[in-house]
Amino acid sequence: MCSSDLEVAAVSHALARHRAGLNPDEAMMAGLLHDIGVLPVVMHAAKRPELQARKALEPVIARLHGRIGRRILESWNFAPALVEVADGHEELSRAGADRPDYTDIVLVANLYCHRADGHPLGEVDWTQVPAAARLGLASAEEIAESPQLAESISDARALLGLSPGAAPPVARSGVAPKPVPASARRDPAGVSRREGGFLRWLRRLFGFAPG
């Protein structure tokens, strides 16, 4: 489990408890699993030299990890509300319903955990994100400066085996960079060819490919 997934899970737990009226344990589970679709991509990339470089791997992850995550969670019979998280947690403009849902919670928690690590998600204007508005938040500072949320995040981090103090900025390392928002993505030549080989591998491994 990547440390960033644990951080997102801890923040999701706190937001569900204090901002959304949703089940905090379900929100924590959603945070833990939101990037489950990255794992098969990385497993495949480890066997493909042309995907070892970040520049080559990043657009493949960005394009596929949401759809793959959805199919994995569907195949494991997760509730539809949690399945949606895998595919929607980086859709910054998603409309959603009037009330926040688990995808909103994880989306905002993900933004918060990237607030100071140099990732493009850390530069997002929260006032332009409908999910943040549904949670009554306009900036990352509103979470960081809330004693109630800070205490809940600290408790959740301790539960997950992390230091119970304030969450540090989260940066991915190694071969699995965090996908960037759609506005910042690039689709270099060769992605479609690499993707085709990956989809064949995915069918062999899991018995499906994202539609």
- The predicted model scores a pTM of 0.74
Structure tokens at 145: 């400066």
Per-residue model confidence as pLDDT tens digits over 150-177 = 999 999 999 888 876 655 444 333 333 3
pLDDT of the residue at 112? 94
Alpha carbons 101 and 29: distance in angstroms, whole number: 13
pLDDT of the residue at 203? 55
Candidate ranges 58-62, 66-70, 72-76, 101-105; pick with highest mean pLDDT? 101-105
CB 13 within 8 A of CB 24: yes
CB 123 within 8 A of CB 47: no
Closest CA to 107 of 93, 127, 123: 93
| Residue matched to tokens 């080989």 | 197
